[in-house]
Chain A
Amino acid sequence: MQNLWLIPALPFIGFLINGIFGRKLPKVAINAIAVLSVVLSFGLVVGVGLSSDWGTNPVHQHYFTWIKSGAFEVGWDFAVDKLTMIMLMIVTGIGSLIHIYATGYMAHEEGYYRFFAYLNLFMFFMLNLVLAANYLILFVGWEGVGLCSYLLIGFYFVKKSATTAGNKAFIVNRIGDFGFSLAMFLIVVSFGTLDFAKVFEAAPGKSVEVLTAIAMLMLLGATGKSAQIPLYVWLPDAMEGPTPVSALIHAATMVTAGVYMCSRSAAIFTHAPAAMELVAIIGLLTAVFAATIGMTQYDIKKVFAYSTVSQLGYMFLGVGVGAFSAGVWHLMTHAFFKALLFLGAGSVIHACHGEQDMRHMGGLRKYAPWTMGTLACASLAIAGFPFTSGFFSKDAILGAAFAHAPWMFWVGVITAGMTAFYVWRAFWMTFWGEYKGHGHPHESPWSMLGPLVVLAFLSIAGGFLFNVPKILESMFPIKEVEGEMTLTAISVTFGLLGIGISYYMYVVNTELPGKIANSLGGFYRLVYDKYRVDEAYDTAVVQPLVEGSTTVLWHGVDQGVIDGIVNGVGHQSKGIGGVLRRIQSGNIRSYATWVAVGAVALLIALGLGGGVR
């Protein structure tokens, strides 16, 4: 068996070389290092996948003891089972494509080396996350990808909005990590270890209360990383980062870490039904909520960002209703079509010289046919068009949701309709009609189109090629759902309806959207303003904290009360102060003498005190 550590180590080496020497290297060298390190890592993953023994006997490798205190020990351990294998394939496969794409997309940017160094560092941490054999090593990756996300969102660091978005992402994720950390503390308290194998083996024997508490704390962690209510607010802002980053980190890989973590912890979740229910409800709520916002946005990346939030909600719905493998399936297909949507959006933005507002696009089908063709594939997949990748995975989730609670299915189906609507709305607005932007739009270079074509193929055929529930059957048994054909028919109908309505509104009768918006008035504004959640958080949390810390704690308690007392005492002993001031201008010997005299005086005083005792 190969050494698993090489898989993350390669991108890490790429990070070190480009990070330290990149400024002096030619672009060709930077490209070669950045791309090759990830592609080689992908090769290693394939190698591990092809070696026959991992499926039946999960591989476990221990490298060194990371933390040891008393009986508690955490090793730097990696393990591979089928779930990890799927994640490894997605991360390194999509990662390779996006690295290649980025060499074209970022070609004219300043700080080229820095970008690829961060991207490689991200790969390192993400691979650590999925290879981890215990919660703490997973957490290393978890926090590490958060760091890279922060660095890449704020890549254009001269721009204040970019660095503010980076801070927001980091801090909101820290709130989630707060939950994750507490979950780990509770696991150690009740299990005495953080090793997956040991924890999952012992989980059935633990009380439901403890398991529920652990699962809910983990869920808080997952809502941060995977942008679910109430912590989703950072993801839309994260679009400040370069588009390849949005595709890789904020669509295909990092944001799915929460789904991965919950699936990984299935042994805990399945014994905590209340937590499962909460996962499903949060997922479903987020899916609907984000979809409504997505229908009103004009910034093409913002549309896809809310779409990501919404689709992640689907995955959580799957996990919550017990269909873990369906959730992971959607994680995979979503990685295909959402990465493609973002890369396609990047190509569109590239074509329009940096414009992101869809109202200033249109008619691009003439100028960027390859971009259009590939984006159409992604849009069909996300709309659940029959036999595309998204069709299979969404169907599996909705079927399981119906078996769990029919109302969840119905809400899910309506959301599917909205999804089809907003994605195709974006499609029509960019590619149909007349070009309304500035300059001459142009098609992107082949370094960018190549990955688009590969992803387009996967978006169409990916669900068919990789039947994740079948692959994971030994870990997550498949439950048959009655009347599946009917359910499928219903969800496909809603998807087609969404596409049809968007065609009517944005191609046939383009006056209509404005009229509808006007007739909805205040409600439309509210949705358009993203329900003003950011503003509410600011007023309810951020401002009071900052104001309170300034006036009450700093000026009030610190300078007012405590220093008031201290200075009061100091004032009383002004005599001593005077002596001190004289000493300050004097020399060392006089001071030392003074200390000695003081010490002797104290000795005498205390000697007398001792006598009194």
Chain B
Amino acid sequence: MNLLDLLIAIPAIGFLIVLLIPRPMENFIRLFTLGFSLLTFVVSLGMVVGFQNGQAGQQFVTNVVWIQNPEIHYHVGIDGLSLWLIILSTFLTPIAILLSWNSIKERVKEYFALLLLLEFGLVGVFAAWDLFLFYVFWEVVLVPMYFMIGIWGHDRRIYAAVKFFLYTMAGSVLMLAGIIFLYLQGGTFDYASILDQLSSGKIVLNHLQETLLFLAFFLAFAIKVPLFPLHTWLPDAHVEAPTAGSLMLASVMLKMGTYGLVRFCLPMFPTAARENAPWIVILAIIGIVYGALVAMVQPNMKKLVAYSSVSHLGFVVLGIFSFTQMGLDGAVYQMLNHGISTGALFLLVGFLYERRHSLEIADYGGVATAAPWLSTLFLITTLASIGLPTLNNFIGEFLVLQGAAQVHFSWSIFASLGVILSACYMLWMYQRVFFGELSDEVRHHMPELNAREWACAIPLVVMMVWMGMYSQSFLPAVSETNAKILDQGKMTAPVRAMAQVNGGNANAR
């Protein structure tokens, strides 16, 4: 049992124990989940320490048979791509728990238990190296989020939860079909083995099959990202979800989609991925501009941030489908950046909501006078979000746009429009919420940050600066893995072409 196994086990054990704690011991439940999530985080840091840069393959591998027939493995491991996404999950879970401390008053036990379950699912998703196992974790993640929106959400929570569920399920079903198809072809769910068989020509896919399989996986991931025009579940889910739900949803769950694209779509179906890249890139760019424009006219803060996510995630997809080292590095870095800065935005919007009980921008104004530190942290987060150099998002956006420019200069022109628009929607919101005269309604409901809130926000701000100033702490591991993924695509292409010719001949005979 290595650190990674431990990391998957701890939240699961924590979840089970919380279920056993008597319902009235609410404070104990809070402390317990916080402690468990912090323990998980510490263990995950151990993984950072033990992670070897310079070897692009998997590390911390465990591979044992889980189910005999059909043979499903518990096969987990991490590389530079999964490492930081796992750290992101374990880093944000304690924050999510801490920020829900007082705001969740009903069904406390279930709520905090679900947060641990969510963490379990997230770590699993990014660690799974067996397609079926991956699918199981993928679904596990769905459960707590569905309930968080549906039970602890706001007024239209049922609609939002069902919409979220239907959308995601629609994609998952297709992916499952794809996984099963691959199993029937290769006789295994093991991802490494499937990749091997694909590149060595043991699994032969004709052009149509590869395209359909690619689309099946792609659609599941694209919904999760979400890629325009599959994004309309996101604003509703965010607005209705409790703060911690929005935080985890935006920061980590959306990355399951982009992670899937990089992890599975590119290496398994390189030809189809490249063939379909043009229209995917166009959708990504539309998403960047469209998300920003719609964000610009939102009267509701959470909706604004939600649409801004559509825009930001468009950058990630653009980077991935540029098939360049810079584009892909930028995309992965942007996944992490978005996790930090949009997570922080939802967190701070949550603080405002707990004070004023409104998400409408129009109900605010003058907050900077009443709560200067809250306003300062919000400003730093805003600046990170709009890509100010020295803060995290800039590096990701720059690399993505540079990667895109390398392929088609016009891509970078249109995508860069999003950078202008992000300043519009964020600064307009900031002005209306924080500047101006302080009204009495705001004055009486706007205390300065308390210690617990500081504890939630400061780690995020520190990460914004760290990731913006010293990307070398994070990027090398990512780069190595990305280089390998790009290489796989290149290497398999000729083999694929030969296989296709052979397959074609066979059919002709």
Task: Check B162 against A570 for contact (C-beta < 8 Å).
Answer: yes
- How long is the Cα–Cα vector from A177 to B329 in the complex, in angstroms? 23
- How long is the Cα–Cα vector from A167 to B420 in the complex, in angstroms? 12
Q: Which of B268-327 contact A (CB under 8 A)?
A: 290, 293-294, 296-298, 324-326
- A70's nearest neighbour on chain B, judged by CB, is B325
A550 at the interface (CB under 8 A from B): yes
Of the candidates A70, A554, A588, the one whose C-beta lies within 8 Å of that of B297 is A554
A163 at the interface (CB under 8 A from B): yes
Task: Check A550 against B412 for contact (C-beta < 8 Å).
Answer: no
Interface residues on A, range: 35 or more
Of the candidates B181, B290, B434, the one whose C-beta lies within 8 Å of that of A553 is B290
Decide if the interface of chain B is mainly helix, strand, loop or mixed.
helix
Of the candidates B402, B434, B469, the one whose C-beta lies within 8 Å of that of A72 is B402
Task: Check B388 against A144 for contact (C-beta < 8 Å).
Answer: yes
B residues near A588, Cβ cutoff 8 Å: 110, 114, 143, 147
Query: How many whole Å from A484's CB to the nearest CB in chain B?
Result: 44
Task: Check A566 against B167 for contact (C-beta < 8 Å).
Answer: yes
Binary interface encoding of chain B residues 39-54 relative to chain A, with 1 for a CB under 8 A from any of its CBs, else 0: 0000000000000000
Task: Check B390 against A144 for contact (C-beta < 8 Å).
Answer: yes
- How long is the Cα–Cα vector from A540 to B294 in the complex, in angstroms? 19
Decide if the interface of chain A is mainly helix, strand, loop or mixed.
helix
Task: Check B181 against A186 for contact (C-beta < 8 Å).
Answer: no
**A185-B405, A563-B232, A581-B158 known; A139 and B389 CB under 8 Å?**
yes
**Partner-contacting stretch, out of A59-67, A419-427, A438-446, A460-468:** A59-67
Task: Check A185 against B419 for contact (C-beta < 8 Å).
Answer: no
B residues near A174, Cβ cutoff 8 Å: 419-420, 423
Query: How many whole Å from B111's CB to the nearest CB in chain A?
Result: 12
B residues near A181, Cβ cutoff 8 Å: 398, 401, 416, 419
B residues near A160, Cβ cutoff 8 Å: 435-436
Of the candidates A65, A164, A171, A581, the one whose C-beta lies within 8 Å of that of B424 is A171
A residues near B470, Cβ cutoff 8 Å: 64, 66
B395 at the interface (CB under 8 A from A): yes
B residues near A64, Cβ cutoff 8 Å: 470, 472
Most A CB within 10 A of own CB, among B435, B471, B483:
B435
- How long is the Cα–Cα vector from A132 to B156 in the complex, in angstroms? 52
A546 at the interface (CB under 8 A from B): yes
**Partner-contacting stretch, out of A357-365, A502-510, A599-607:** A599-607
A residues near B325, Cβ cutoff 8 Å: 69-70, 72
Task: Check A70 against B180 for contact (C-beta < 8 Å).
Answer: no
- How long is the Cα–Cα vector from A70 to B483 in the complex, in angstroms? 8
B residues near A553, Cβ cutoff 8 Å: 290, 293-294
B479 at the interface (CB under 8 A from A): yes
B413 at the interface (CB under 8 A from A): yes
- How long is the Cα–Cα vector from A409 to B302 in the complex, in angstroms? 56
A residues near B399, Cβ cutoff 8 Å: 67, 69
B residues near A178, Cβ cutoff 8 Å: 416-417, 419-420
- A611's nearest neighbour on chain B, judged by CB, is B184
Binary interface encoding of chain B residues 192-230 relative to chain A, with 1 for a CB under 8 A from any of its CBs, else 0: 000000000000000000000000000000000000010
- How long is the Cα–Cα vector from A576 to B435 in the complex, in angstroms? 47
- How long is the Cα–Cα vector from A73 to B420 in the complex, in angstroms? 25
Of the candidates A140, A549, A607, the one whose C-beta lies within 8 Å of that of B389 is A140
A residues near B161, Cβ cutoff 8 Å: 580, 584
A residues near B330, Cβ cutoff 8 Å: 69
B428 at the interface (CB under 8 A from A): yes
A residues near B479, Cβ cutoff 8 Å: 68-70
Of the candidates A175, A177, A185, A566, the one whose C-beta lies within 8 Å of that of B232 is A566
B17 at the interface (CB under 8 A from A): no
B residues near A147, Cβ cutoff 8 Å: 383, 388
Interface residues on B, range: 35 or more
Query: How many whole Å from B389's CB to the nearest CB in chain A?
Result: 4
- B326's nearest neighbour on chain A, judged by CB, is A69
- How long is the Cα–Cα vector from A110 to B417 in the complex, in angstroms? 38
Task: Check A566 against B163 for contact (C-beta < 8 Å).
Answer: yes
Query: How many whole Å from B113's CB to the nearest CB in chain A?
Result: 8
A514 at the interface (CB under 8 A from B): no
- B328's nearest neighbour on chain A, judged by CB, is A69
Binary interface encoding of chain A residues 159-180 relative to chain B, with 1 for a CB under 8 A from any of its CBs, else 0: 0100110110011001101100
- How long is the Cα–Cα vector from A558 to B230 in the complex, in angstroms? 10
B427 at the interface (CB under 8 A from A): yes
Query: How many whole Å from A240's CB to the nearest CB in chain B?
Result: 12
- How long is the Cα–Cα vector from A69 to B326 in the complex, in angstroms? 6
B11 at the interface (CB under 8 A from A): no
Task: Check A185 against B412 for contact (C-beta < 8 Å).
Answer: yes
- How long is the Cα–Cα vector from A581 to B420 in the complex, in angstroms? 42
Task: Check A163 against B431 for contact (C-beta < 8 Å).
Answer: yes
A592 at the interface (CB under 8 A from B): yes
Task: Check A189 against B405 for contact (C-beta < 8 Å).
Answer: yes
A residues near B483, Cβ cutoff 8 Å: 70
- How long is the Cα–Cα vector from A562 to B229 in the complex, in angstroms? 7
Task: Check B436 against A602 for contact (C-beta < 8 Å).
Answer: no
The 6 residue pairs across chains A and B that have the minimum distance between CB atoms: A70-B325, A185-B405, A549-B293, A140-B389, A69-B329, A163-B435
Apart from A546-B297, A576-B166, A602-B173, list 17 A-B contacts with CB within 8 A. A66-B469, A67-B475, A140-B389, A163-B436, A174-B420, A185-B405, A186-B409, A189-B405, A189-B406, A550-B297, A557-B229, A584-B150, A584-B151, A602-B180, A606-B180, A609-B177, A613-B181
- Chosen A-B contacts, 24 in total, with CB atoms closer than 8 Å, are A23-B372, A66-B469, A140-B390, A147-B388, A157-B368, A158-B366, A158-B369, A158-B438, A163-B436, A167-B431, A177-B420, A182-B413, A184-B402, A185-B405, A186-B409, A189-B409, A545-B296, A549-B296, A550-B297, A566-B166, A566-B232, A588-B147, A595-B143, A606-B181
Residues of B within 8 A of A (CB): 110, 114, 139, 142-143, 146-147, 150-151, 158, 161-163, 165-167, 173, 176-177, 180-181, 184, 229, 232-233, 290, 293-294, 296-298, 324-326, 329-330, 366, 368-369, 372, 383, 388-390, 395, 398-399, 401-402, 405-406, 409, 412-413, 416-417, 419-420, 423-424, 427-428, 431, 434-438, 469-472, 475-476, 479, 483
